[in-house]
C-alpha cells in the first residue's frame, strides 16, 4: 500500500496565517507593511462601528472597506463588539448575522470567518450556534506558543501576538524542517495595539523573517480552513491505489515521499 500523507498547496508542510481585529484606521499603515512583504492577513471587523470613534480610536469608514482590505480577508467580529457570553441568544444571532450581511454587502464576497470579541468571549453554546450562522471558523484569544494544526476551528487559538515571543517564534518556525509534521504559525492582535506599543518596527522585522520563503504557504484564515476541510472530502479507494477529488480546487498529497497534485474534479492513480 502506498504511504500517503496530506500536504498544503504545492506539497508544502508549513503555513502562516495572521488575524487582526477591530478595523481601526491604524490598519492602513499595517496593511501597507503587509503588502510590502506580500503577506496576506485576515481582518475581523465590527460593521456597526464603521466610521465611528468610541473613544478608543476611529474605525475605517464603510465606503473605504472594499479598497482598504482588497488583498485580505474580511471576517466577522460581531456588529458592535459585545462580550457574547453576556448576551441573549437573540442578540448573539443578530450580532453575527448582521455583521456578516453588512460585510458581504461592503466587500461583495461571502464572509465566513470570525474572531470572538473580547478576552474569553465565547462559550460552548455560542460555538455550537456558529455553523448555523454560516461561520466556518472562529478565533479565540490567548497564545498556544506552538505550531500545531487546530483540532477545532471554532475554538482556534493562535501561536502568539506581538508581545509573546513573536520574533523568537518566527525564527523557530522558519527553521522547522521535520517532514512528518504539518506546521502552522498563526499570529493575532490589533494594529492599534502595535502602534500603541511602538512595535511596528518589530512587526516589520517579523515580516522580513517569515516572508518570501519557498516552503511556507501564506494563507488567509478562510483559505486555510477551506483547504483543510476540502482534504476531508477526498475519496480514496480501499486499497489506496487511486483517489478522487470532488472539490473545485487542487489538493496536494505526499505519496511515497513525493508531492502529488490532485486537481479538482479528477481521479488520480498512484
**Binding region for Zn ion (CB under 5 A):** 21-22, 117
Helix (H, G, I), strand (E, B) or coil at 63: helix
Report in angstroms how near the CB of residue 136 gets to Zn ion at its nearest.
19
Closest CB to Zn ion among 84 and 216? 84
Nearer to Zn ion, 8 or 122 (CB): 122
Identify which of residues 113 and 117 has a Cβ nearer to Zn ion in the complex: 117
Closer CB to Zn ion, residue 117 or residue 150? 117
| Residue number with CB closer to Zn ion (50 or 228) | 50
Report in angstroms how near the CB of residue 77 gets to Zn ion at its nearest: 6
| Distance linking the first and last C-alpha atoms of the chain | 10
Pairing of strands 73-76, 42-45: parallel
With beta carbons less than 8 A apart as the criterion, state whether 138 and 115 touch. yes
Residues 6+ apart with CB under 8 A from 30: 20, 191, 194, 200, 203
In whole angstroms, the minimum distance from the beta carbon of 60 to Zn ion comes to: 14
- Indicate the SS3 state at residue 119: coil
Residue 144's alpha-carbon distances to 53, 56, 184, 198, 217, in angstroms, are: 32, 28, 11, 24, 20
Q: Contact at 8 Å (CB) between 157 and 122?
A: no
Confirm if 14 and 173 have CB atoms less than 8 A apart.
yes
In the complex, what is the shortest distance from the CB of residue 81 to Zn ion, in angstroms, rounded to a whole number?
6
| Cell numbers given for 29 | 499603515
Q: How far is the CB of 44 from Zn ion (least distance, A)?
A: 7
Residue number with the smallest Cβ distance to Zn ion:
21
Least gap, CB of 158 to Zn ion (angstroms): 14
| CB closer to Zn ion, 15 vs 114 | 114
What distance in Å separates the CA atoms of residue 173 and residue 82, rounded to the nearest whole number? 34
User: What's 11's DSSP letter?
Assistant: G
Amino acid at each position: 500500500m502506498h504511504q500517503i500523507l496530506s500536504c498544503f498547496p504545492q506539497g508544502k508542510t508549513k503555513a502562516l496565517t495572521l488575524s487582526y481585529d477591530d478595523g481601526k484606521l491604524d490598519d492602513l499603515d499595517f496593511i501597507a507593511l503587509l503588502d510590502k512583504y506580500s503577506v496576506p492577513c485576515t481582518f475581523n471587523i465590527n460593521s456597526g462601528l464603521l466610521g465611528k470613534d468610541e473613544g478608543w480610536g476611529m474605525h475605517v469608514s464603510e465606503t473605504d472597506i472594499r479598497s482598504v482590505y482588497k488583498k485580505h480577508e474580511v471576517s466577522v467580529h460581531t456588529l458592535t463588539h459585545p462580550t457574547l457570553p453576556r448576551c441573549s441568544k437573540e442578540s448573539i444571532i443578530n450580532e453575527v448575522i448582521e455583521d456578516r450581511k453588512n460585510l458581504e454587502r461592503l466587500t461583495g464576497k461571502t464572509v465566513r470567518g470570525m474572531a470572538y470579541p473580547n478576552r474569553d468571549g465565547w462559550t460552548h453554546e455560542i460555538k455550537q450556534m456558529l455553523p448555523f450562522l454560516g461561520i466556518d471558523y472562529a478565533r479565540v484569544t490567548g497564545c498556544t506558543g506552538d505550531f500545531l494544526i487546530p483540532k477545532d476551528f471554532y475554538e482556534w487559538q493562535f501561536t502568539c501576538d506581538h508581545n509573546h515571543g513573536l520574533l523568537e517564534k518566527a525564527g523557530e518556525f522558519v527553521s522547522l524542517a521535520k517532514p512528518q509534521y504539518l506546521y502552522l504559525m498563526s499570529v493575532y492582535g490589533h494594529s492599534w495595539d502595535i502602534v500603541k506599543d511602538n512595535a511596528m518596527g518589530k512587526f516589520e522585522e517579523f515580516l522580513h523573517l517569515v516572508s518570501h520563503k519557498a516552503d511556507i504557504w501564506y494563507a488567509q484564515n478562510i483559505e486555510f480552513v477551506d483547504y483543510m476541510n476540502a482534504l476531508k472530502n477526498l475519496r480514496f479507494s480501499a486499497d489506496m491505489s487511486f483517489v478522487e477529488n470532488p472539490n473545485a480546487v487542487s489538493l496536494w498529497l505526499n505519496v511515497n515521499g513525493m508531492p502529488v497534485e490532485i486537481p479538482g474534479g479528477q481521479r488520480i492513480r498512484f
